[in-house]
Structure 1
Amino acid sequence: MIAMEYPSDLRKRLFVEFEGEQGLDEGGVSKEFFQLIVEELFNPDIGMFTYNDQSHHFWFNSMSFENDAQFTLIGILLGLAIYNSCILDIHFPMVVYRKLMGKKGTFRDLYDVDPTLMRSLGEMRDYEGDDFQEVFGQTFRIGYKDVFGNNLTHDLKDGGENIFVTQENKLEFVDLYADYLLNKSIEQQFRAFRRGFLMVTSESPLRQLFRPEEIEVLVCGSKIFDFQALEKATTYDGGFTEDSPTIRHFWSVVHGLVEEEKRKLLQFTTGTDRVPVGGLSQLKMIVARNGPDSDRLPTSHTCFNVLLLPEYSSEDRLRDRLLKAINYSKGFGML
């Protein structure tokens, strides 16, 4: 791996060229490159990560069959994204960024990884009844399933099978459980992941100057939507200007959308629902005319933040076509 022999090269500007395709990489090709890699590595069929439907976050699969190099690659990917100002559509819980900064995951981090488990452990921690053992009947041996559905066990401390959780030791149990899930069970995978991240960022001031929350914004962007700023920064092509009736209708519709719809529009146009560092004014979106009025839906070139709009005859027609596009055209309208 080139990164192992020449890690300093990772801190140079990345230029991407797809085999068999022409064109200079002015940012759009690199963006597509990152998007394709993220989609592949986080594919559930690969099995490197698990996805929690409640928290909507990915977590490291402690039983992944992938070798350390694959997790190192994802760490490198995060570092490269920062150096190349590319927003990644990666949904990690905050504890991942805390751990990248050298901290350990604790009970308070569990909610973003497994909300159901945290609630259960919270109920145990807060229970004050004298019938604690009768209610919970829990020892320091925990159970889980492997990728094939087989039941496995793990002792949180020596002899855990024979040590019952009581009022006196319940806090120890909760802390050990959280430590196992967030740290010990994924130690090998996370060590490789962090190694890759540090290959790129070890000489940067990230750890000294940035909090974990700020690292997340650098990697994934913000979720604060200022569409007034986006309107001011947007440019037009194909015959549209900011005074074109279709453009005035477009922004009237956009500003009337609820936040969830605005997020979908951002996803449809840019490939991610996150806001770049510095806000939406940094997005450099282009709205281009895509022919006369028609029944066709809007389309987009997500790699270049280009929204292609037919010159719809009315605001109502534009609203109808745009909402259909952002709600139902995922994977078809984005080019």
Structure 2
Amino acid sequence: MFTFNEESRLYWFSANPTLDEHTLQEYRLAGLLLGLAVYNSVILDIHFPRALYKKLMNVEVNLQDLKQLDPSLGKGLEQLLVFDGPVESEYERTFQVDMESCGHVYTYDLKPNGSKIILCKENRQEFVNLYTKFLLDTSMEQPFGAFVQGFRLVCQDSAIKASIFRPEEIEQLICGSSDLDFEALERSTVYDGGWTKDSAIIKYFWEIVHEFSYEEKKKLLFFATGSDRAPIGGLSKLQFVIAKNGGDSDRLPTSHTCYNVLLLCEYSSKEKLQERLLTSISNAEGFGMI
């Protein structure tokens, strides 16, 4: 359904001119899930370019959006626009593009009789505009249309429909923010099971966390909440809970990601807490832990 760009590490709609109703229904389901995430204030670990959120808000996409999705292609088109040499002989192409899909190569005219229109210095801006529109609009019109249908099933009457938000704010609503202010998180954290902000283990915990690298902080956030990004408004808006999970033990810290709850035992020392915590957050995915 989606194509992954290795350079940008982003996903985009796969070009497929022969979509059946079953596949379109899957795109509607994907849009529905995105809408439910907005409705329920759930952050999703998804990687789409800003162009997706601009299109959801009916904002026109441009070359800079294409450059974010495919940096090499975007840079190549920018170089075409400023090329000083003979464009016709150097590029030797027409207003026609090829696109591979499911093992087949399809040829499209960017405009009527595109195969007969030679790219030159005079029409290169038009070529770039049409090529960008083709990649971000025309080539995925069907799947994106189905995706929007699913999204609007949930968000039809919301502030999003009323265009109160900008595309980048919609992106933050769905994907969260990469700005991780753990000082703000400490101030807003709630304690349960016998812990208070003055408990020795809690003081040790925040001392350890504030010394973490950015990547370790992301791992901790992912371990405790299921996402390594902050909700819109920052980590102070995250309903984060640290709960007591018994006395001193060799057990690792655990979490309830659905409720943003981190469970800590009353470890006997700061060093033991740090070792147990780092072990947990470094082995939170897959089967790496023995």
- Is residue 268 from structure 1 mapped to residue 223 from structure 2 by the alignment? yes
- Alignment partners' CA distance in 2, 1:134 and 1:290: 72
Per-residue CA deviations over 1:92-115 (Å, capped at 9, x if unaligned) read: 211111111122322121122211
Partner in structure 2 of residue 147 of structure 1: 102
Query: With structure 2 as the length reference, what TM-score do the two structures score?
Result: 0.87
Residue segments in structure 2 that go unaligned for 5+ positions in a row: none
Hey, what does 1:62 align to over in structure 2?
15
How far did 1:243 drift? 2.1
* Residue identity opposite 2:202 in structure 1: I
Contact 1:287 1:307 in 2 (8 A): yes
Q: 1:324 to 1:275 in 2, by over 3 A?
A: same
> How far apart, CA to CA, are the structure 2 residues paired with 1:280 and 1:208?
25
Deviation at residue 189 of structure 1 after TM alignment: 1.0
Paired AA for residue 146 in structure 2: A
> 35, 49, 56: which one pairs with 2:2?
49
The one-letter code of the counterpart of 2:80 is M
CA RMSD, 1 decimal: 2.3
TM-aligned CA distance change 1:191 to 1:267, over 3 Å: same
Structure 1 252/332 Cα, relative in aligned 2: closer, same or farther at 3 Å? Answer: farther
User: Which residues of 2 match residues 277-296 of structure 1 at below 5 A?
Assistant: 277-296=232-251
**Is the 8 Å Cα contact of residues 104 and 183 (structure 1) preserved in structure 2?**
no
Instruction: Spell out the pairing of 1:306-317 with structure 2 (5 A cutoff).
Output: 306-317=261-272
Structure 1 residue 111 corresponds to structure 2 residue 67: yes
Question: What amino acid maps onto 1:186 in structure 2?
Answer: M
2:273 to 291, 308, 318: 318
The residue identity in structure 2 corresponding to 1:309 is L
TM-score calculated relative to the size of structure 1: 0.77
How many residue pairs align between the two structures? 284
Distance 2:163 2:98 in 1: 39
CA shift for structure 1 position 291: 4.1
Pairs within 5 Å for 1:60-139: 60-63=13-16, 66-129=22-85, 131-139=86-94
Q: Does 1:174 align with 2:162?
A: no
Matched residue, 2:114: 160
Equivalence for 1:329: 284
Q: Which amino acid is 1:62 matched to?
A: A
Change (3 A) 1:159 1:329: same
One-letter amino acid matched to 1:114: D
One-letter identity of the residue aligned with 2:71: P
Q: Distance in 2 between matches of 1:319 and 1:164?
A: 65
Q: Name the structure 1 match of 2:176.
A: 221
Question: Which is further off, 260-269 or 193-202?
Answer: 193-202
What letter corresponds to residue 122 of structure 1 in structure 2? E
Q: What is the Cα deviation at residue 181 of structure 1? A: 0.5
Identity across the alignment (%): 49
| Deviation for aligned residue 1:305 | 0.9
Counterpart CA distance in 2 for 1:147 and 1:299 is: 43
The SS at the match of 1:70 is helix
SS at 1:165 equivalent = coil
Offset of residue 240 of structure 1: 2.9
Partners of 1:208 and 1:105 lie apart in 2 by 16
> Of 188, 192, 195, which aligns to 2:142?
188
Gap regions ≥5 residues in structure 1 = 1-47
Contact in 2 for aligned 1:79/1:197 (Cα 8 Å): yes
Match of 2:154 in 1: 200
Q: Structure 1: which amino acid aligns with 2:253?
A: P
**Partner letter of residue 58 of structure 1?**
Y
